[in-house]
Amino acid sequence: MRWLWTLCLMAAASASAPIPAMAGERRPNVVFIAVDDLNDWVGCLGGHPQAFTPNIDRLARRGTLFTNAHCQAPLCNPSRSSVLTGLRPSTTGIYALEPGIRAVASLKDRVTLPQHFATHGYATATFGKVFHDGSIPPAGRAREFQVWGEVGRMPMPREKFVHTPDDLRAMDWGAFPDREQDSGDWKIANAAIAHLKGLPRDRPFFLAVGFRLPHVPCFAPKAWFDRLPEASLAMPAVKPDDRDDVPTFAWFLHWKLPEPRLSWLRKADQWRPLVRAYLASTSFMDAQVGRVLEALDADGRAGNTVVVLWSDHGWHLGEKGITGKNTLWERSTRVPLIFAGPGVSSGSSCGRPAELLDIYPTLVELCGLPPRNDLEGHSLVPQLRDPSAPRDAPAITTHNPGNHSIRSERWRYIRYADGGEELYDHRNDPHEWNNRARDTALAGVRRELSRWLPARDAAPAPGSMSRLLVREEGIWYWENQPIVPGEVGRRAPKNGERPTPDNTHRSPGAKPSEPGRP
Question: How far is the C-alpha of 478 from the C-alpha of 217, rounded, in Å?
Answer: 24
The one catalytic residue among 48, 120, 132, 215: 132
- Intra-chain end-to-end CA distance of the chain, in Å: 81
| Residue 254 falls in the annotated catalytic set | no
How many other C-beta atoms lie within 10 A of the C-beta of residue 429?
Answer: 13
- The span from the CA of 108 to the CA of 110, in Å, is 6
Fill in the DSSP letter of residue 457: -
Provide Rg for the chain, Cα atoms: 23
Axis-axis angle for helices 359-366, 76-85 (nearest 10): 30
Residues 6+ apart with CB under 8 A from 372: 86, 111, 116, 360, 361, 364
**Of 29, 79, 34, which is closest to residue 363 (Cα–Cα)?**
29
The H or E element that residue 90 is part of is helix 89-92
The CA-based angle 455-457-458, given to 5 degrees, is 130
Task: Choose among 258, 329, 251, 241: nearest CA to 510.
Answer: 251
Distance CA 311, CA 71 (A): 8
Q: What is the DSSP letter of 272?
A: H
Q: How many CB atoms lie within 10 A of CB 463?
A: 12
Cis peptide before 114 (omega within 30 of 0): no
Catalytic residue among 44, 70, 71, 76: 76
**Which whole-number Å values give the CA distances from 377 to 105, 226, 282, 360, in the listed order?**
22, 42, 28, 8
Catalytic residue check, 76: yes
Determine the distance from the C-alpha atom of residue 464 to the mean position of all C-alpha atoms in its chain, rounded to a whole number.
19
Point out which residues pair with 340 in neighbouring strands. Answer: 307
Say whether the peptide bond before residue 18 is cis (omega within 30 degrees of 0). Answer: no
Rounded to the nearest 10 degrees, the angle between the axes of helix 271-299 and helix 54-62 is: 50
Catalytic residues: 76, 132
